[in-house]
Structure 1
Amino acid sequence: MDHGHMHDIPPSSSSPPSSMMNNGSMMMHMTFFWGKNTEVLFSGWPGTSSGMYALCLIFVFFLSVLTEWLAHSSLLRGPTGDSANRSAGLIQTAVYTLRTGLAYLVMLAVMSFNAGVFLVALAGHGTGFLLFGSRTFRNPSGDQQAKVLLPPSGCAC
């Protein structure tokens, strides 16, 4: 194991609260923090602009809502009986794969440890479940899925 670069990592008890290391590279946060100066999903994004940070929060929110919509979509249940065929199975698999990929993107965004990103991801999943998964906006006409208290999570965990 190469320990030659261990001196580049500052000790946690004496490290300054800034996110810059001595050599000018970014240090990743390992605890939740508040602030707009963060990196989410891509290097340098959203940067230090408040407007770009707000756009990042909106993006993560809608990504979470979209993940929940796909998780509760009839596209994932697919047709039953004689009408079930290979093309329907391929569409179902493609939608499942897309939903899983979006769930991983939300997870990676939350791994930025930015508290704002975490809260909007929770709000997005909650809003998506409220709109697409809960009984709140469903037609009470004998829906078989209404008997399930908590449907499968949109998380790919």
Structure 2
Amino acid sequence: MTSRAEQPIAGGIQIRDLQPQDRVAWELLYRQYAEFYKEPMNEEILARTWSWLLDAQHPLQGKVVATANGVLLGLAHYRPFPEPLLGKEAGFLDDLFVLPEQRGGGLGRRLIEAVSQAGKEQGWPFLRWITAQDNAQARRLYDGLAQATVWVTYDLSLGTAC
């Protein structure tokens, strides 16, 4: 049975789980995602992340927006995380990316809906994500879907300087 999130969208476009044959197209998307956030990307990072996505024992999971002929238009990576105050695992959306020329047509929303459905199926009480403060286009989408939190995020580098 196909879930709502995996049913075709207009024009034969569908949201589906990442598949082994998506590797080349996924890499192109993921490189653009990293470039958008000005994060360095190399073959080692790509290979490791891809291996995580395809490893059923690893928590990282992936969904893609694909055309009928297999062209990828967007991606979402997500995973469970322990939420100690609830005593449950919740969901974390690590990466969401839609090709710039495809934005504004609802594909990002559909990816989040597909991840949300997967989270419901896994018993998560909520799905959490972060974005850059200046990512205005994404924040318009997010503000229409979810409640912004009051939490401030910090990163402590664990490099050799400690």
TM over 0.5: no
Q: Higher helix proportion, which one?
A: 1
Bigger relative contact order, structure 1 or 2 (CA pairs below 8 A, ≥6 apart):
1
More strand by share: 2
Q: Compute the TM-score of the two structures, normalised by the length of structure 2.
A: 0.27
